Structure 1
Amino acid sequence: MLQISLFRRIVIFAILIGGLVLALPNAFYTRVEQSNDARAVIESGLSNDDLSAVAGQWPDFLPSGLVNLGLDLRGGAHLLVEVQVEDVYAGRLDALWPEVRDVLAAERDTVGFVTREESGTDELRVRISEAEGAARALELVRGLARPVVTVTGAGASDIAVSADGPVLTVTLSEAERVATDNRTMQQALEIIRRRIDEAGTREPTIQRQGADRILVQVPGVGSAQEVKDLIGTTAQLTFNPVITRTTDPATNVAPDEILAPSLDEEGVFFVLERAPVVSGEELVDAQPSFDQNGRPAVSFRFNPSGARAFGDYTAENIGAPFAIVLDGEVISAPTIQSHIPGGSGIITGRFTAEESTNLAVLLRAGALPAGLTFLEERTIGPELGQDSIDKGKLAAAVGLALVIVFMGLSYGLFGWFANLALILNLCMIFGVLSLLGATLTLPGIAGIVLTVGMAVDANVLVFERIREELKTAKGPARAIELGYSRALSAIIDANITTLITASILYAVGSGPVRGFAITLGLGIVTSVFTAIFVTRLFIVLWFERRRPRTIEV
């Protein structure tokens, strides 16, 4: 007999109601979006009557998740960034120099005095005064090599060392360069994502392209320059010992020293030791604050290893200046008055409140491991996005109208049951997209339009099967039951193959292709649910109420 248990009916109605409730905020998109933004500001600690009024535009007890609009629908910034991975080689070799110096200085009787010579960014050149000790020096420096920590570089060393008389040349091995490039790209991706997330933008697209490029798409921003200002700053923070102060920009410095301009005092330069005491990598927190004079500043805190190194240095160098260096410029160069334990401090300078907040965001997100070059940038205006939305709505409305008319004329009352299920199906798609916080793009709208056409396929199979069963004069109830049971395998087979295709598109595609695959895949799942369960429930409820002796399909 044609029956559906009470429990299954409750579950089906619960799923439908849940999908409708989750999709509801999208019908009031602007109001809900403003309310969500106001609540986020209030949660950050700021509150006033205007914010409370805006937050109250949408009730707390209703879901507030929205389908995020992609770059092509909302407008925003598109950037293609090249990461200068070679910059990291110089930093690695600079960090290696103190180890090389110390290990050679320990055997000064054999190798003599050790000095660093000028060299390219991809090599470290070290001269020893005793040429006869070159073989021993070579052995000592090679002993500093470590294995490359990658699957492809297993068994290889991270450095290559050669000798030309009394001069040793240290370079990164090929395996280490490949591993370094991969680490640099992963770190750059993560830091760019953190910086953009800190700024509160919605659903940015940040993904690697090729060996050394990153695609950045940020919906909802006014211009590409805003994003460039946010992610383009290296924010490399170091604390370096000060050797001397000068006003001569042409001051000669040794290979293990650097000349950095002062940010506060124009025309003033500092000669600093190249190797920092601690770096921004050891920061665990940075927050905007104010100094003792009420001027904007940035307070910071180190991790345990950074706190220990910073504390030891300040204890041993009381009365000496040290420099706080940001991206090659000296922010300030205070004199150490006393031991600074605990690993916390404050950065002062000529900051505005906004600059101190931005600097704290950059430091908290972390320093970029290498410089960035912007190869491509463009701003997509919101007018173009609105035009895409309007055309997408028109396409969906026309497709939906044609399908509804066709189903109503072809299958009568059963066709109108299928049409009602189709509308519920679209609501469920938006409900699931809202629940997942997914991003809807123009190809995603194409996936929804395609789903409108595909969603009634299962109903067509069932209704045609019911027509065939009615010819055997088994009665309407039996015909409906057999129609659903015998069409089920064809429905599942057809939709599984399409779902596999959508899964492959999602796995190997990127950007717009993934947006299409997501909406297509969700549409397949929801359309099968509505065809097998929802339409059937409508027919059963109608049949139980009317008990017709014959039916027309």
Structure 2
Amino acid sequence: MDRKLLGRLGTTIVMLIIAIAGLWSTIRLIEMGPEGRAELKDTAPETFQELQAKAISLGLDLQGGMHMVVEIDATDMTEEEAWDAHRRALEVIRNRIDEFGVEEPIIQPLGEGRILVQLAGIDDPERAKNIVRRTAFLEFKLVALSSRTSELVTVIDEIAKEMRESSTEYEAPVESDEPPMVAMSDEADTAAVDTAMAALFADLEPETPAVDAASAEEHPFLSLLQSFGYTEDGGLNLAVPEPNIAAVEEILALPEVTDIMPDELEFRLGVVEESENSSNPFESYARLYLLNREAEITGAAVSRANLSFDQRRFNEPIVSVAFKSDYVKRFAQITGDNTGRQLAIVLDGKVRSAPVLRVRIPDGRAQIEGAFNADEANDLAVVLRSGALPAPIKIVEERTVGSTLGQDSIDAGASAGLFGLAFVIVFMFVYYRVSGVIANAVLVVNVVLILSALAMFGATLTLPGIAGIVLTMGMAVDANVLIFERIREEFRTGKSIVASIQTGYERAFKTILDANITTFLTGLILFYYGSGPIRGFAVTLMIGIVMSVFTAVFCSRIAFDFLYSTGRMRRLSI
């Protein structure tokens, strides 16, 4: 055996050892099975993550997860503004998903104003959707004095009353099978409330407001509100029972009401809260605030946001916020100049809380409360750290793949691959005999090298990717068939075994190279212009082509040379 052959054989063996080592983590995870993997994840998460990082990554269609396409609302934006909003939204969503902790997400632009988001292996799709689509626009606004609130709600009540009295044409509301939210005195009173609300909201069909009929007749707006406790300056705290929220929002949006609102003020509702008073007939309500329209400070000033627990409220989850150094003095000035007033924390147009400023806050820290559970508080911290979306987004396409379906896909793909491999092995052995055995051995090496490359390069294996592997198996065999037929032709002309093998490989090489280069270029185009599963197919196709050429031309030639040089091939079995 000459040194060149020994060197080529040694190189192949070393590559095969490295390939098997690269697949070791994948093999261990497969041997554990679903239950073993779940147990290891719970008992030794660091070991599990280390194994998973070195193993072949499975795509959305194989391990389950969610696929969604979101669209930026670019209404009233110029073309340049829409492009910038799309770019910034892509960055914000990517930051949010990274903070959320999803491994190897796919987040990429998809046409004009759309973004593709694929999250493999997530357990809570609804939570992921909320993380992605939440605008997370944070504002800190001062609450107006209660005297202004009382004045404005009285004026709005008068406007609502005048509108109802001047309305002569309206449609009576559709009768509902649901019982009224609050017991009325009699059927006539109930009809009076329905009539008043129908006249006021001719273009809306709100849920039947929970009001007293007599009160609604005299005060159509005030009757929708409820007072509880007093403010710091002696005014009443106002709230809206949940059944009345739609009606209150409709009244506040009336042109006649917006026209009388001062430019510097606006009404905002808080988040819906559960009533803590057992004597209260309403189970839930939202507080009503009159705020300065201009924010004192916004979420752009936030440098850190973290999940914390309020020791004073039985470890209730909250979000602790720290401001950037440039805004610390500004926040200290706001809190110092407005001691005794409420500072509302507004998130996406809803007031989360409105604490009273007791003292000046010099360290640039605040906390957001709002009846969170730990996951909700942590998700809010994630979106605040990542920044607000430049414009609202909507989900235009959504698809969820369960883990069971993903496992079924893996099983089906593996079965197809093994069946194809077995068929090819039998055919090659029957048709080419000893040479077929060499081709089969090379084919197994080819599959091992492809899978190892996927693991070591961190590529993601998808269902189309499995199809790509099966396809390259056929291409690898095709290359061997070309070589064997060339060798057979050369041998029939009377050449020796060595000369036939050498000439056969040389003449088949150009054909094999040309065919595989064109297919490789096709794979590059699919990878560049495709997305998701198409890219997965392209990756495995390109890796498979490289490995097929290597094993067919290099490895099988070593096998022929080794058998002939050691005297094990005295006649050509092909």
**TM-score w.r.t. structure 1 length?**
0.72
Letter of the structure 2 residue corresponding to residue 15 of structure 1:
M
- The answer on whether the counterparts of 2:564 and 2:570 sit within 8 Å (CA) in structure 1 is no
Q: Cα gap change, 1:359/1:267 in structure 2, threshold over 3 Å: closer, same or farther?
A: closer
- The answer on whether the counterparts of 2:5 and 2:561 sit within 8 Å (CA) in structure 1 is no
Distance in 2 of aligned mates of 1:522 and 1:324: 53
- Find the counterpart in structure 2 of residue 51 from structure 1: 43
- Find the counterpart in structure 2 of residue 10 from structure 1: 10
Q: Deviations over 1:299-348 (max 9, x none)?
A: 22233333354344345444443221111122222344444344333333
RMSD: 3.2
Q: Cα gap change, 1:291/1:507 in structure 2, threshold over 3 Å: closer, same or farther?
A: same
Aligned residue among 485, 490, 493 for 1:469: 490
Letter of the structure 2 residue corresponding to residue 216 of structure 1:
V
Distance in 2 of aligned mates of 1:222 and 1:393: 25
Aligned residue among 277, 296, 300 for 2:296: 277
Q: Deviations over 1:467-497 (max 9, x none)?
A: 3333455533343333333332222222111
Letter of the structure 2 residue corresponding to residue 278 of structure 1:
I
- Gap regions ≥5 residues in structure 1: 42-49, 87-121, 123-171
- Find the counterpart in structure 1 of residue 353 from structure 2: 332
- Find the counterpart in structure 2 of residue 361 from structure 1: 382
Aligned residue among 293, 296, 302 for 2:317: 296
Distance in 2 of aligned mates of 1:312 and 1:57: 50
Q: Cα gap change, 1:5/1:33 in structure 2, threshold over 3 Å: closer, same or farther?
A: farther
Q: CA deviation at 1:57?
A: 7.4
Distance in 2 of aligned mates of 1:529 and 1:33: 35
- The answer on whether the counterparts of 1:77 and 1:380 sit within 8 Å (CA) in structure 2 is yes
Task: Give yes or no for the alignment of 1:239 onto 2:231.
Answer: no
- Find the counterpart in structure 2 of residue 84 from structure 1: 73
Single out whichever of 416-425 and 63-72 deviates more from structure 2.
63-72
Task: Give yes or no for the alignment of 1:69 onto 2:58.
Answer: yes
Distance in 2 of aligned mates of 1:11 and 1:342: 63
Distance in 2 of aligned mates of 1:257 and 1:324: 15
Q: CA deviation at 1:37?
A: 8.0
Please give the secondary structure, in 2, of the residue aligned with 1:456.
helix
Map 1:262-411 → 2, pairs under 5 A: 262-263=270-271, 266-293=285-312, 294-411=315-432
Distance in 2 of aligned mates of 1:448 and 1:512: 14
- Find the counterpart in structure 1 of residue 183 from structure 2: none
- The answer on whether the counterparts of 1:4 and 1:537 sit within 8 Å (CA) in structure 2 is no
Letter of the structure 2 residue corresponding to residue 271 of structure 1:
L
Q: CA deviation at 1:267?
A: 4.7
Letter of the structure 1 residue corresponding to residue 269 of structure 2:
P
- The answer on whether the counterparts of 2:442 and 2:552 sit within 8 Å (CA) in structure 1 is yes
- Find the counterpart in structure 2 of residue 214 from structure 1: 115
Task: Give yes or no for the alignment of 1:505 onto 2:526.
Answer: yes
Q: CA deviation at 1:224?
A: 4.7
- Find the counterpart in structure 1 of residue 213 from structure 2: none
Map 1:43-192 → 2, pairs under 5 A: 51-52=43-44, 64-86=53-75, 177-192=78-93
- The answer on whether the counterparts of 1:79 and 1:378 sit within 8 Å (CA) in structure 2 is yes
Q: Deviations over 1:129-148 (max 9, x none)?
A: xxxxxxxxxxxxxxxxxxxx
Q: CA deviation at 1:387?
A: 3.5
Q: CA deviation at 1:190?
A: 2.8
Q: Deviations over 1:169-190 (max 9, x none)?
A: xxx7xxxx21221222222233
Aligned residue among 463, 485, 495 for 1:442: 463
Distance in 1 of aligned mates of 2:3 and 2:101: 51
- Find the counterpart in structure 2 of residue 255 from structure 1: 263
- The answer on whether the counterparts of 1:77 and 1:222 sit within 8 Å (CA) in structure 2 is no
- The answer on whether the counterparts of 1:319 and 1:335 sit within 8 Å (CA) in structure 2 is yes
Please give the secondary structure, in 1, of the residue aligned with 2:304.
strand
Q: CA deviation at 1:8?
A: 4.2
- The answer on whether the counterparts of 2:55 and 2:455 sit within 8 Å (CA) in structure 1 is yes
Q: Deviations over 1:223-265 (max 9, x none)?
A: 6534333323222212223333542765863334332223487
Letter of the structure 1 residue corresponding to residue 267 of structure 2:
L
Q: CA deviation at 1:38?
A: 8.2
Single out whichever of 496-505 and 213-222 deviates more from structure 2.
213-222
Task: Give yes or no for the alignment of 1:22 onto 2:22.
Answer: yes
Count matched residues. 453
- Find the counterpart in structure 2 of residue 523 from structure 1: 544
Distance in 1 of aligned mates of 2:413 and 2:106: 21
- The answer on whether the counterparts of 1:36 and 1:64 sit within 8 Å (CA) in structure 2 is no
Aligned residue among 102, 123, 137 for 1:201: 102
Q: Cα gap change, 1:244/1:7 in structure 2, threshold over 3 Å: closer, same or farther?
A: farther
Distance in 2 of aligned mates of 1:399 and 1:190: 43
- Find the counterpart in structure 2 of residue 105 from structure 1: none
Distance in 2 of aligned mates of 1:350 and 1:450: 55
Distance in 1 of aligned mates of 2:109 and 2:567: 61
Distance in 2 of aligned mates of 1:466 and 1:356: 70
Distance in 1 of aligned mates of 2:101 and 2:456: 19
Q: Cα gap change, 1:498/1:415 in structure 2, threshold over 3 Å: closer, same or farther?
A: same
- The answer on whether the counterparts of 1:261 and 1:330 sit within 8 Å (CA) in structure 2 is yes
- The answer on whether the counterparts of 1:264 and 1:331 sit within 8 Å (CA) in structure 2 is no
Please give the secondary structure, in 2, of the residue aligned with 1:447.
helix
Q: CA deviation at 1:390?
A: 3.1
Distance in 1 of aligned mates of 2:433 and 2:113: 59
- The answer on whether the counterparts of 2:332 and 2:364 sit within 8 Å (CA) in structure 1 is yes
Larger Rg belongs to: 2
Identity, % of aligned positions? 42
- The answer on whether the counterparts of 2:483 and 2:504 sit within 8 Å (CA) in structure 1 is yes
Task: Give yes or no for the alignment of 1:419 onto 2:440.
Answer: yes
Please give the secondary structure, in 1, of the residue aligned with 2:572.
coil
- The answer on whether the counterparts of 1:206 and 1:214 sit within 8 Å (CA) in structure 2 is yes
Q: Deviations over 1:101-145 (max 9, x none)?
A: xxxxxxxxxxxxxxxxxxxxx5xxxxxxxxxxxxxxxxxxxxxxx
Distance in 2 of aligned mates of 1:468 and 1:69: 44
- The answer on whether the counterparts of 1:244 and 1:270 sit within 8 Å (CA) in structure 2 is no
Q: Cα gap change, 1:64/1:204 in structure 2, threshold over 3 Å: closer, same or farther?
A: closer
Q: CA deviation at 1:416?
A: 1.2
Q: Deviations over 1:447-469 (max 9, x none)?
A: 11111100122222322333333
Q: Cα gap change, 1:336/1:28 in structure 2, threshold over 3 Å: closer, same or farther?
A: same
Q: Cα gap change, 1:415/1:309 in structure 2, threshold over 3 Å: closer, same or farther?
A: farther
Q: Deviations over 1:338-366 (max 9, x none)?
A: 44344333333433333322221222232
Distance in 2 of aligned mates of 1:342 and 1:6: 72
Letter of the structure 1 residue corresponding to residue 57 of structure 2:
N
